[in-house]
Each structure stands twice: as structure tokens, then as C-alpha cells.
Amino acid sequence: MKILLTGLNHKTAPVELRERLAISPEKLADETRALLSHPGVREGMILSTCNRVELVVCYEGREPELALYLNEHFSVDAQSLEPHLYQHHETEAVRHLFRVASSLDSMVVGEPQILGQVKESYSAARSVGAVGGTLERLLQGALAAAKKVRTETQIGSSAVSIASVAVDLARKIFGSLEGKRVLLVGAGKMSELAARHLLQQGAGSLLIANRTQERAVHLARKFNGHVVRFDDLHARADEADILITSTGSTEFIFRIPHAQQFLHRRRNRPIFFIDIAVPRDVDPEINRLDGIFLYDIDDLQSVTASNLSNRTREAQQAEAILEQELVRYQRRIETLDVVPTLVDLQATAEEMRQAELRRAQSRLQSLTPAQQAAVEALTHGLMNKFLHQPLQALKAAAREGDLATVDAIRAAFRLNGSREAAAQHETENSASSSNEAELTAASDDND
């Protein structure tokens, strides 16, 4: 089957478009099942993060119209969507997925979260039966490549995550986080990472609000913070100098009226919002208010530029490793592709052997069972001896990616149509056998 990858990311689409296509972890399995039912898709997986939405599918025959799927499924018109989409086929699709899993295509190069997100997407696809042999090999190859990059380079050595960049931005805004009160809205992995970095940067106190109270309590205990009941969020948000939001809400949590109340209660002391959620938690319109400073996930890209320059050498080494892994993956696939040829060659030879035995059957009837077994073993052994060299040559050619040799062996043994060739051989043998019988009878009459 062929491989196709279609999607958009932080490089090609703004956050206001990405959030319209965002899929929550709870809905990922259902959305993958819907993708699998799209015409032409045989296997499929969806990767949805704050920075990308990508569809990876395997198909036969006509290429699936994945842009149409996105248009219809997310109610986004083609004119708005298609200029931001990219498509990769076959080897380029494999290379792209390897780079994504290895965090070389991330906003923050080297961030560790993407590998876990790829695994979650893989698990969701498997749970709905969307993973077959082709996608299984692709994902296993991507995960192995990512592991090798992590093991053999220092690309993930320093603080690299969206959360850490958000905290770094807050520190640059204030100069120091000493004595600053921070409110985390959301208690997921991103918020936990943010909490850790905030404390390392000397934040004065930490408030945590989450829809599920238990998760907020757990995070607060872990970092010696204080819980704000989610129902009290708007009443207490003005206590914080910095609000970092990372929830799974599909609607804005903070709007202009909320921000106006915060400013009034803070006596116009400024308040900073860092919104790292997709879909966004904070209405971008509040940035128009004096005293409100809002940064969303796309604003973080300027902060990550210096991070990327510091990691160029490690990224180059990682790219070289991925190219090696890509070659290894392709050779594995080519080896698998030659398996039918190996089987076909053996089957063709066996059919010829059986045909020759049938042709000589009349002359073998006088042999004892032991003698007939010896003939069977002899012909079988000769066939295996004869096949050894071409079989080894096929395997070696597949390992080396030498498709010309594979094609030459296929042509030499007429394996492109081996079943038809075998049938023709059988017909020729039957005719030859008939002629031989006639000649034998004539010889007997002459004697």
C-alpha cells in the first residue's frame, strides 16, 4: 500500500485555524474511526497537538481526498484551509513522520512531549482497528528512530517544552519571578511542566485551578501550591500577576468583561496572560485593554528562535541519524516486498518438479515405495540446490535496495506472470509427454 500524510502545523497555519481542527484526546479514537471510513483509506492515524493536526493514511489505487475530509469533517471551507495544508507521499511522508516523532519539526526543537503524543495517536488508531501491516511498520520505524535520536544526541538536554518557553517568557517580561503570584489554569502535563519551571525560576506562590478538583489538589500537593475552585476562577484570577492557561476547553474561559473586572480589582496593575492551549482559552480581543498583556502559543515562536540556534549542531546530528534510519526502514520494506517473489520462485520450481514427476510416472510405477521416496528426495534436493543461488541473490538485492537485480531475476524466471508461465509450462509438458508416448509406442512396434 501507498503512504500519504496531509496536515498543517505552526509553520503553515495560525493558531486561530489550528484550533478549529484540534481534537481532544477523548475524541481521538472516534475521529480516527471516521477517518478510516473515508473513501480509499485502508489504514489511518491522526496526530493532533497544540502545534499540528496531521492525517497519516495507507491506501491502494486512487489517492484519498484528505483535504475534502478535513473540509467536511471540521466544517472549514477549502479556501480557508487548503493554502495552509501540506502533503507528503511515500518516502517524504516517512521522513516527515520520523522528524515529527524525533521533535525535529516541533516549535521547540527537542521537546519530549511529541513522542508521547505520537504513541497516544498510535494507540488510539490500534484500538479502532485502523492499524494494519503497513502503518504498523511505519510507526515502529518512527518510534525506533526517535529513540535513537534521543539516545545518541543531546537534543533534549536543556529545558525544552512549550511550558518552559512560556515560563521563560514570563521571566523576561518581569525580569525576575521572585515574589510573583502565578495562576495555572489546567492541571495536565503541560501545567505540571510549567509549575516545575516556575518554581525553579523563583515564583513566589502558585495557584492551581482545574475543572476536576482532584487533579488540582494532586498538583498543588506536589508543588506546595494552593487550589482555586474552578467555580471561583473568575472571582480570584485577579490575585495572580501571571496566568498560564492550558485546558481542553472548546470555548474561551476568559473574555473582555472578565479582564475588565480583573483590572478594576487590581487597581489597573498589569496582568499577564500566557495562553498555551489549542483551542485557545483566552479571547485575543482582551489584548486591546490597557494593562492586559496576552501571549498565545504562536507568540512563543520568537522565544524559541534562540533555543533553536543553540541546538543547531545537535539537530544536524539528529537529521543524519534519521536519514540512516530512513534507509534502514526502506530496506526492510524492500525486503518484505521481495518475499512474494521468493515464494513465487519456490512455488514455480515446485510446480515444474511435480510436472516432471507426473510426466515420468508411467516409468516409475515399477519402483518400490522406497525407490519412489528416493526419487522424490533426489528431485526435491536438486530443486533446492538449484534455487539456493537465485534466492540468496534476491535477498541480497533487497537488502541493498538493488531493484534492478530483483527485476532481472523476476524476468529471468518469468515471475511477473509466474502462474501463467507455470500453466503454459504444464501445457508444454503435457504435449511433450504425449509426443514421447507416441514415439515409445512406435519404437515398441519396430522392435
Residues designated catalytic: 50
Place of cell 526502506: 330
Neighbours of 136 (CB within 10 A): 15
DSSP code for 178: B
List the grid coordinates of 4.
Answer: 500519504
Contact status, residue 287 vs residue 299, Cβ threshold 8 Å: no
Measured CA to CA, the distance from residue 400 to residue 403 in angstroms comes to 9
Place of cell 498589569: 270
Nearest to 160 by CA among 110, 96, 200, 113: 110
Amino acid at 369: P
Nearest to 278 by CA among 5, 10, 7: 10
Measured CA to CA, the distance from residue 160 to residue 394 in angstroms comes to 46
Place of cell 515471475: 415
List the grid coordinates of 288.
Answer: 486591546
Amino acid at 211: R
